[in-house]
Amino acid sequence: MFLAHVKVRFVPPVDAAALERLLVHAWEASRAQWPTVPLPAELFVTHLAERLPEATPTSPLEPLLESLSLAELYLACACLHGVGAALRVFERNYLAKLPGLLRSPKYPDALIEDICQLTRMKILVPSPEGRPKIAEYTGRGALHSWVRVTATRIAIKLQSTEKPAPEEDADTLFSALPAPGVDPELDAIKRRHQADLREAMREAFSTLSPEDRHLLRLYFVDQLSTYELATLFRVSQPTISRWLKSTRETVYKETRRHLQARLGLSQREFQSFLALLDSQLELSISQLLGAEDAPPGPPEQG
């Protein structure tokens, strides 16, 4: 099994008995480090073979194995295969220590919580695109260091997309409104009232809570799917969809209300005005904030 999955084709004849003893010893020694974590030898040997460092066909195997953190590779393999005891050990020995490792003046507590949640999700939860990131751990270096590097990269990404002020949110979304179309009258209205519409959207976004703006930022800027957001916030996907839909409706209604006030139109005059603008405005906000446009995620379990 090892020879079938290893990338290096060792020069024959391979001493099968010696190789068997070496691999069995690696499995038993690794298992001894985590006595509560069961993992069949076949799964561990296959996992090990696929992550063996590059070598020449004549390289001795024992030094290659000694260069790896085999016990932590064993734990990572068990986590990848969803062994409950392994996930609990990983949580207790690695993820639970992340807040202390990340704590610094540049990371507020709320950001550290987000970083830890995203790290947990990225490392252990399969995504629609593929396997959990724990599959990428090769045993070259300590697992603690690998987890911390993963968390630090997530922190850098979150900090590079800091939540903007409401004015910046509104400007970003306004700039994404569809370009003028073929309706000359609608185009004229959009050009004439562009500043009013921009200010109305800015005022609408100022009514959102910081949590709602943060949710939109994760969804549109960081491009997290509803599945990933549900994992991050520890709620169901339908709940995330409801939150996004509610936020869309708030922005839409508030934009209309502020726009009417800015234009100084009566209700009847405003309705006539919206007859041309309303469908375009609703389409724009729906495209930007609509939960129905969320990237598809895997079905919920249970």
Residue 173 resides in a domain: yes
Residue 34 resides in a domain: yes
**Are 206 and 148 in the same domain?**
no
**Are 199 and 236 in the same domain?**
yes
Residue 287 resides in a domain: yes
**Are 278 and 194 in the same domain?**
yes
Q: Which of 30, 45, 77 is the last residue of a domain?
A: 77
Which residue type sits at 204? A
Residue 83 resides in a domain: no
Q: Which of 136, 160, 184 is the last residue of a domain?
A: 160
Residue 85 resides in a domain: no
**Following DSSP, what letter does each residue of the chain receive, concatenated?**
-HHHH-SS-PPSPP-HHHHHHHHHHHHHHHHHHSTT----HHHHHHHHHHTPPP--TTS-HHHHHHTS-HHHHHHHHHHHTT-HHHHHHHHHHTGGGHHHHH-BTTB-HHHHHHHHHHHHHHHHS-BTTBS-GGGG--SSS-HHHHHHHHHHHHHHHHHHTPPPPHHHHHHHHHHTSPPP-S-HHHHHHHHHTHHHHHHHHHHHHHTS-HHHHHHHIIIIIS---HHHHHHHHTS-HHHHHHHHHHHHHHHHHHHHHHHHHHHT--HHHHHHHHHHHHHHHHHHHHHHH-GGGSPP-PPPP-
C-alpha 97/C-alpha 99 separation (Å) is 6
Residue 300 resides in a domain: no
**Are 210 and 273 in the same domain?**
yes
**Are 170 and 283 in the same domain?**
yes
**Are 220 and 184 in the same domain?**
yes
* Domains in the chain, number: 3
Segments forming the whole domain that contains residue 136: 90-160
**Are 154 and 216 in the same domain?**
no
C-alpha 298/C-alpha 207 separation (Å) is 33
Q: Which residue has the tokens 């561990």?
A: 44
**74 close to 39: Cβ distance less than 8 angstroms:** yes
pLDDT tens across the length of the chain (302 residues):
777 777 766 554 457 788 888 899 999 999 999 999 999 999 999 999 888 877 666 667 778 888 889 999 999 999 999 999 999 999 999 999 999 888 877 677 878 888 888 899 889 988 777 889 999 999 988 999 899 888 888 887 776 655 444 444 455 544 444 443 444 544 555 566 667 777 777 787 778 887 787 777 777 666 677 776 776 677 788 888 888 888 877 877 787 787 777 777 666 666 666 655 555 554 444 444 433 333 333 333 33
**Are 156 and 170 in the same domain?**
no
Using one digit for the tens of pLDDT, what is the confidence trace for 43-80? Answer: 999 999 888 877 666 667 778 888 889 999 999 999 99
Residue 130: phi and psi, rounded to 5, are 165, -160
**Are 276 and 172 in the same domain?**
yes
Residue 239 resides in a domain: yes
Using one digit for the tens of pLDDT, what is the confidence trace for 217-244? Answer: 777 666 677 776 776 677 788 888 888 8
Residue 301 resides in a domain: no
**51 close to 141: Cβ distance less than 8 angstroms:** no
**Are 139 and 65 in the same domain?**
no
**Are 214 and 283 in the same domain?**
yes
**Are 121 and 217 in the same domain?**
no
Q: Which of 110, 134, 160 is the last residue of a domain?
A: 160
Closest CA relative to residue 21, chosen from 2, 6, 4, 37: 2
